[in-house]
Amino acid sequence: MRRFVRRSDLGIIIGCIFIFALFSLWNPQQWFNWGTLSNIGQYTAILGLLAIGQTFVILIREIDLSVGSVYGIVGITFVGLESSNVGVFVAFIIAMLLALLIGLVNALLVIRGKVSSMIVTLGGLFFYRGLIYVTTHGAVTGTPQAARENWLSQLFGGHWLRIENGFLLLLLLAFLCANALYQTRFGNHLLALGGDPASAESQGVPVNRIKTSAFCLCSLFAGLSAVVTLANNPSTNVSLGTGMELQSIAAVVVGGTLLTGGRGTIFGTILGAFFLTAVRAEMIALGAPPSWYISFVGIALLIIVTVNTLLAKRLKLA
C-alpha cells in the first residue's frame, strides 16, 4: 500500500515542486507575497473540497458531473436562508441537508435505476442549474451584513494567524478523508469496489452502501465548498459554480487518481487543486489574459496524465 501511495501521486508532487520553484525564481515579488499565497490558499480550499468529494466517486469508477450545479444550488440556498430570519446556523444545516439529499438521489438513480452515473449527474447538472434560475428569477442577493458577522460565517470565511480558515478546513478534512480511505474498513471496501466490483461483492463488501456513501460525500463536499466560498465572499450570482464540475475532475485526475477507479490519493487531489489554482493566480499576476486559464487546464491535464501513465508503466516494470 505505501508503495502504491507513493506511486499514484508522484507526478503531481513533482509538478507542484516544479511550479513552486519556477514561480519563485521567475516572479519572486508577486509569488512570495502573503496576499497572493493566501488567495491561492482560499481558492485551493474551494476547488480542493469539491475535488475531495469527486475523488471518492472517481475511486469507485463513477463520476459526478453535477457538483458544479450542486455547489451553486446549495450556496444560493444558504445565502437565501441567511437573508430570511432562520439564522446562519440553521441555514447551514438546511443547505447541507439539501446536499445530502442530492447525493442520495444520485446514488438511488445509479444503484436502483441502473443508469450510468455520467447520465444521472449530467441530468443533475442541468436540473439543479435550471432550478436556480427558476426559483431565483435570475436575481440573487449577497450575504447580508449581519450574517457575515455571525460566528459560523467567521468560522468558514475568517482567518486564523493570517491563514484563511477555508484552507485550514481543507487540510483538516483532507487529513480525515485520507485516513478514512487508507486506514479504515470503509476505505478498504471503497478501494476494493473501485479495483474490482465483482470481487469486492464476492467477499461480502456492501457495494450499495459504499456507492451511496461516495455520492453523498461528493455532494456534501460540494455544498461545504459553496458555504466556504460564500462565507468568505458575500457577493454571488446565479452562475455560481458553473464549470466547477470539470475543474474538480481535472484536479482529481491531475492529482494522479485514475478514472478507471481503485487507485488514487486524497493528497494528490489536494496538490492537483493547488496546482491548477496556483498557475491561474500566477498567470493573472503575470498579466496573461484570464481566458488563457481554460486552455492551460487542458494542457496541464494532458501533460500530467501522460507523465503519470508513463511513470506507472516504468515503475511496474522495474
Partner 1 sequence: MAKTDRAGDPRKPLISIRNVSLSYGNFQALTDVSVDFYQGELVGLVGDNGAGKTTLIRIISGINPPTSGEVHFDGERITKFHPKKAIDLGLECIQQTIGICDNLSVGRNYFLGREPVKRVLGLPFLDKKKIRETSAKVVHDFGLRDTVDVDDEIALLSGGEKQTFKIARAVTFRNRVIIMDEPTNHLSVRERAHVNELAVQLKQQGLLVIYITHDIFQIHRIADRIVIMENGRKVTDVPRDAMSAEALEGIIRDGGRAPAKGPKVA
Q: By CB under 8 A, tell whether 184 contacts partner 1.
A: yes
SS3 content of the chain, % helix, strand, coil (to 5): 75, 0, 20
Residue 204 interacting with partner 1 (CB under 8 A)? yes
Q: Which stretch binds partner 1 (CB under 8 A): 36-44, 73-81, 137-145, 201-209?
A: 201-209
- Complex with partner 1: residue 123 or 195, whichever CB lies closer: 195
Q: Rounded to whole angstroms, how far apart are CA atoms 297 and 247?
A: 8
Instruction: Examine residue 203 and tell whether it contacts partner 1 (CB under 8 A).
Output: yes
Residues 253, 263, 268, 275: which binds partner 1 (CB under 8 A)? 263
Burial category of 148 from C-beta neighbours within 10 Å (exposed 0-12, middle 13-18, buried 19 and up): middle
Q: How buried is residue 198: exposed, middle or buried, by Cβ count under 10 Å (0-12/13-18/19+)?
A: exposed
Q: Please give the Cα distance from 154 to 290 (Å, whole number).
A: 30
Using CB under 8 A, pick the residue from 188, 237, 239, 242 that binds partner 1. Answer: 188
Residues 266-305 that bind partner 1 (CB under 8 A): none
**112 is a site residue for partner 1 (CB under 8 A):** no
Give the nearest distance from C-beta 1 to partner 1 in angstroms: 5
- What are the phi and psi torsion angles at 159 (to 5°)? -125, 160
Query: Is residue 76 within a helix (H) or strand (E), and if so which, with residue range?
Result: helix 67-83
Q: Count of residues binding partner 1 (CB under 8 A)?
A: 25
Which positions from 164 to 183 touch partner 1 by CB under 8 A, shown as an x/- string?
---------------x---x
When asked if residue 311 is in the footprint of partner 1 (CB under 8 A), the reply is no
> What whole-number distance in Å separates Cα of residue 152 and Cα of residue 150?
5
State the Cα–Cα distance between residues 156 and 30, nearest whole angstrom: 26
- Determine, following the binding rule CB under 8 A, whether residue 191 of this chain makes contact with partner 1: yes
Q: Is 195 in the site for partner 1 (CB under 8 A)?
A: yes
309 binds partner 1 (CB under 8 A): no
Query: Please, what is the minimum distance in Å from the beta carbon of residue 212 to partner 1?
Result: 17
- DSSP collapsed to 3 states, 215-272: HHHHHHHHHHHHHHHHHHCCCCCCCCCCCHHHHHHHHHHHCCCCCCCCCCCHHHHHHH
Q: Name the minimum Å distance from CB 227 to partner 1.
A: 25
Residues 6+ positions from 90 with CB-CB distance below 8 Å: 81
If we measure between CA atoms, which residue out of 142, 162, 161, 170 comes closest to residue 231?
142
Q: Is 196 in the site for partner 1 (CB under 8 A)?
A: yes
- Quick check: 211 binds partner 1 (CB under 8 A)? no
> With binding defined as CB under 8 A, does residue 185 bind partner 1?
yes
Instruction: Check if the beta carbon of residue 200 is closer than 8 Å to that of residue 189.
Output: yes
Identified binder of partner 1 from the candidate list 13, 94, 141, 201, rule CB under 8 A:
201
The answer to whether 87 contacts partner 1 (rule: CB under 8 A) is: no
Q: Which residues bind partner 1 (CB under 8 A)?
A: 1-4, 179, 183-185, 188-189, 191-192, 194-196, 198-205, 262-263
